[in-house]
């Protein structure tokens, strides 16, 4: 089954070969993070709670799942909670949908007051972090926490302004996600998509694996945003586009496309020469 919500194109660069379009779900048969082969569970490439439908079957062991669930909980369940509730995204626990949502507004400078609103009245700001380019591409030194160019309040800024006006507040603030966790989340999406596209056995080296598992502090080397060419088309709900060049597989990731989420670039890993032709 293909994800009707987004693109599954694995594009080709001039000096690359076409590894084909993934047809989800793809059965893997071992943990894509630690390669264990027992007690495997299915892996959603984009969380179900954000409307993701692409799946890898038997692709994560219990131990790695605990780690990746923590990442997803922070991003999908905490950071995107307002927009998920207001936009009616799918949930496995409909009864647990919040009946009120909090929006911080400022009554005086630097003093937040937490406004409790019903989902219908909540502006549900959608905040995306725009990162600096992956240092693998920029050649700059890798910081332990990814540098943020800007935090973009997208699509719903007008509703926020209206709320501020209505309440007579002086401003509002939007909670930001943890930067490293956010970048690990994007890396996890890109890596699991890439495994579905080219197969786990095609990787000679996976660059992002240790950082996703929290065992390395180099996520900024592999995940970021680039000013130049965008690979995603800006259509569909979520998009992943893989490009293979000089043996290195990069994936462009755009989440919640219709709300104009930015494109992230993830340098996922190096493939075996048999997959990537030697120029």
- In this chain, which of 31, 115, 212, 240 binds Zn ion, going by CB under 5 A? 31
Among 13, 34, 102, 145, binds Zn ion (CB under 5 A): 34
Nearer to Zn ion, 61 or 183 (CB): 61
Residue 104 Cβ vs Zn ion, minimum distance, rounded to whole Å: 38
Q: Which is nearer to Zn ion, 81 or 189 (CB)?
A: 189
Among positions 40, 61, 169, 271, the unique one binding Zn ion when judged by CB under 5 A:
61
Q: Strands 263-271 and 223-224, how do they pair?
A: antiparallel
* 212 binds Zn ion per the rule CB under 5 A: no
Stretch that binds Zn ion, among 34-42, 103-111, 156-164, 258-266 (CB under 5 A): 34-42
Of residues 64 and 101, the one with the C-beta less far from Zn ion: 64
220 binds Zn ion (CB under 5 A): no
Residue 33 is a binding residue for Zn ion (CB under 5 A): yes
Rounded to the nearest whole angstrom, what is the least distance from the CB of residue 31 to Zn ion in the complex?
Answer: 3
Judged by CB under 5 A, which stretch of 32-40, 177-185, 197-205, 216-224 contacts Zn ion?
32-40
Closest distance of CB 128 from Zn ion, Å: 29
Residue 34 or 102 having the CB closest to Zn ion? 34
Shortest separation between residue 64's beta carbon and Zn ion, angstroms: 3
Between 29 and 88, CB nearer to Zn ion: 29
Measure the CA–CA gap between 22 and 4, rounded to whole angstroms.
13
Q: Which residues bind Zn ion (CB under 5 A)?
A: 31, 33-34, 36, 61, 64
């Amino acid at each position: 089954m293909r994800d009707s919500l987004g693109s599954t194109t694995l594009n080709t660069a001039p000096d690359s070969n076409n590894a084909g379009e993934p047809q989800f779900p793809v059965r893997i048969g071992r943990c894509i993070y630690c390669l264990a082969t027992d007690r495997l569970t299915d892996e959603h490439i984009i969380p179900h709670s954000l409307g993701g439908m692409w799946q890898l079957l038997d692709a994560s062991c219990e131990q790695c799942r605990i780690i990746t669930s923590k990442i997803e909980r922070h991003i999908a369940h905490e950071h995107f909670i307002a927009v998920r509730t207001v936009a009616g995204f799918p949930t496995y626990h409909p009864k647990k949908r919040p009946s009120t949502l909090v929006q911080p507004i400022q009554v005086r400078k630097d003093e937040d007051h937490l406004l409790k609103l019903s989902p219908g009245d909540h502006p549900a700001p959608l905040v995306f972090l725009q990162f600096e380019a992956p240092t693998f591409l920029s050649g700059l030194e890798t910081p332990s926490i990814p540098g943020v160019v800007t935090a973009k309040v997208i699509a719903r800024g007008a509703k926020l302004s209206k709320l501020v006006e209505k309440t007579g507040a002086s401003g509002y603030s939007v909670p930001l996600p943890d930067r490293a966790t956010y970048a690990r989340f994007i890396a996890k999406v890109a890596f699991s998509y890439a495994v579905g596209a080219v197969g786990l056995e095609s990787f000679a080296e996976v660059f992002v694996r240790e950082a996703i598992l929290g065992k390395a502090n180099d996520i900024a080397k592999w995940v970021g945003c680039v000013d130049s060419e965008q690979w995603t088309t800006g259509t569909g709900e979520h998009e992943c586009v893989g490009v293979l060049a000089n043996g290195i597989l990069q994936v462009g990731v755009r989440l919640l496309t219709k709300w104009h989420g930015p494109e992230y670039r993830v340098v996922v890993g190096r493939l075996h020469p048999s997959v990537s032709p030697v120029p």
